[in-house]
Amino acid sequence: MADKIKPGSIIRRNSEIIGSDIDGETVMMSVANGRYYGINQVGSSIWHLLHEPMQLESIYAALQEEYEIDPETCEREVLVFLEDLMKNNIIIVD
Amino acid sequence: MAEETKRFYYYANGVYLDSCMKFPELTPAYPSSEKTVVKIEFGQTPEKLENLKAKGVRFQAAPNEFLLPIDDVATFWVKNGDHIIIQPEPRVNESEIRVFFLASAMGALAHQRRQFPLHASAIMYNGKAILFSGDSGVGKSTLAGLFHKKGYQVITDDISIIDKEKNTGQLLIEPGYIQLKLWEDTMNSLHIGKKEGVLLRPGLKKYGYPISSIPKKPLEIQAIYALSVYPGKEILVRPLEGWEKFRHIKKRTFRQKLVDPMGYTEPHYRLLEDICQSLPAFQLQRPFEEGYTTFVEFVENHFQTNQ
């Protein structure tokens, strides 16, 4: 397990987190501590992509396609987001 | 050791109760074999729970156990979803024990039975349930009382027990108690005389008002209305969806704080998820100044046109 996201990092869901689709929005909850999180559409897309572990670059590629944004903006924003998810123990970085 | 005393049998919140105490607030019923029987007994309660996981100002919670001491009334010990032990304080009036038993002990029992206790009252419309949820004081019971006056059947007041039907997985609401808890001023505005109700606790101007009957079986749920009062002019109603709906329903869970320490985090969350995914919810805001007559008509019209 790593504490930083770097090029080539493999990212996976924390198995203690359950995600639910409610009216098209994603709500997540930790079965470990009962805390819950509401996340936005991008977060929701990332969560769906991660139904299996994925390399950072593949996440960028998939999201660029989905949202039609330029690579630089995408990478910058997605990284901030992933770091946030990592801090909250929603994803695990290897 | 245990002395043989008279037993009383009831049905409420989806369970049969085999009780040492008489409950005029409950529907009498003899246990049938297919449902669980919850045993209610007088007895010794512990000072402290083993495996204690959480302690509030007034309660202790451990896996499958809940302990609630109420000064000058009684201590309630709810165990494994099928056993409640009451240790009354000397000279306490049984009616006071019943008030805490019916709200707190039965609410904790619901969690232990993996049911979903929601802070809501409910009425029946076209064979289905309409739920009014919200914080204390927003008018859940008043609204149920007003619909009762209009001829609608009340299903439950204050706590709505939501359950999953074993075979179909459908969400249902369980019939509650045969009483409404109403404040004195609400009794007045409903033109109910004080003599028709029973004072719930000395010094508290709240009455238990008996209602003739509630449905005998669990019912499908049509919608949940999240009630609130606000300083505007118009009655507002809008659909509650996604994250907002989730947050509202989670917040109105009866004693949500018991869920994690009693060890039900995941099953509770799964039920919450199911409720949010399967049931429509609306936010319903009543202006401070708005009288109930127009409000009830508005609400009635809304659930009739949103079937």
Residue to substitute from A18, A23, A35, interface B, most B β-carbons within 10 A: A23
Residue A72 belongs to domain with CATH number: 1.10.10
Contact yes or no for A23 and B242 at CB 8 A? yes
Q: Which of A29, A36, A40 to mutate to test the interface with B (most CBs of B within 10 A)?
A: A29
Full domain range(s) for residue A87: 12-93
In chain A, which residue's Cα lies nearest the Cα of B240? A23
Domain count, chain A: 1
B169 and B282 co-located in one domain: yes
Across residues A14-38, what is the average pLDDT? 87
For A31, the closest of B241, B265, B276 (CB atoms) is B265
CB pairs under 8 A between A and B: 46
Predicted local distance difference test score (pLDDT) of residue B4: 62
| Residues B102 and B136 placed together within one structural domain of the fold | no
Shared domain for B131 and B172, answered yes or no, is: yes
Task: Tell me if chain A has a CB within 8 Å of the CB of B276.
Answer: yes
A5 inside domain: no
For residues B12 and B144, membership in a common domain is answered with no
Closest CA to B220 of B299, B125, B143: B125
ipTM over 0.85: no
Tell whether B87 and B163 lie within a shared domain: no
Q: Is the same domain home to B37 and B129?
A: no
Residue B195 lies in a domain: no
The pLDDT of residue A10 is above 70: yes
Q: Per the domain annotation, does A6 fall within a domain? A: no
The verdict on residue B86 lying in a domain is yes
Task: Assess A25–B contact: CB distance below 8 Å, yes or no.
Answer: yes
Chain B residues lying within 8 Å of A21, measured CB to CB: 277
B154 closest CA partner among B143, B166, B139: B143
Question: What's the gap in Å between the CA of A71 and the closest CA on chain B?
Answer: 30
Domain count, chain B: 2
Same domain, B251 and B127: yes
Query: Is the Cβ of A38 closer than 8 Å to some Cβ of chain B?
Result: yes
For residues B123 and B101, state if they share a domain. Answer: no
Q: Would you call B251 an interface residue with chain A, using a CB distance cutoff of 8 Å? A: no
Looking at the complex, report in whole angstroms how far the Cα of residue A43 sits from the nearest Cα belonging to chain B.
13
- Which structural domain range is residue B251 located in? 116-178+213-305
pLDDT attached to residue B190: 84
A20, part of any domain: yes
**Length of chain A, in residues:** 94
Tokens for B74?
A: 């009684």
DSSP, residue by residue, B209-265: EE-S---SS-EEEEEEEEEEEESSSS-EEEEE-HHHHHHHHHHTBTTGGGTTTTT-H
Q: Which two tokens stand for residue B31?
A: 């246990």
Task: Give A90→chain B minimum CA distance, Å.
Answer: 16
**What number of H helices and E strands is found in chain A?**
3, 6
Distance from C-alpha of B31 to C-alpha of B200, rounded to nearest angstrom: 28
C-alpha to C-alpha distances, B293 to A14, B147, B155, B163, B289, nearest whole angstrom: 52, 11, 21, 32, 12
Bridge partners, residue A30, by sequence: A17
Residue B243 to residue A38, Cβ atoms within 8 A: yes
What is the spatial distance between Cα B261 and Cα B44, in angstroms, rounded to a whole number?
23
In chain B, where do the E strands start and end? 8-12, 15-19, 27-28, 37-42, 54-55, 60-62, 65-70, 74-79, 83-88, 116-125, 128-133, 154-156, 159-164, 171-174, 179-183, 198-199, 206-210, 219-230, 236-240, 281-287
What residues in B contact A22, CB-CB < 8 Å?
241-243, 245-246, 273, 276-277
Structure tokens at B143: 């609204």
Over chain B (307 residues), the average pLDDT of each successive run of 10 is 77 96 94 86 96 88 95 97 97 93 96 96 96 91 92 95 92 95 87 87 87 91 96 94 93 91 89 95 92 91 90
Q: Is B238 part of the contact surface with chain A (CB cutoff 8 Å)?
A: no
Dig out the tokens for B66 from the structure.
Answer: 């809940």
What is the number of alpha carbons within 13 Å of residue B189 lying toward its C-beta?
13
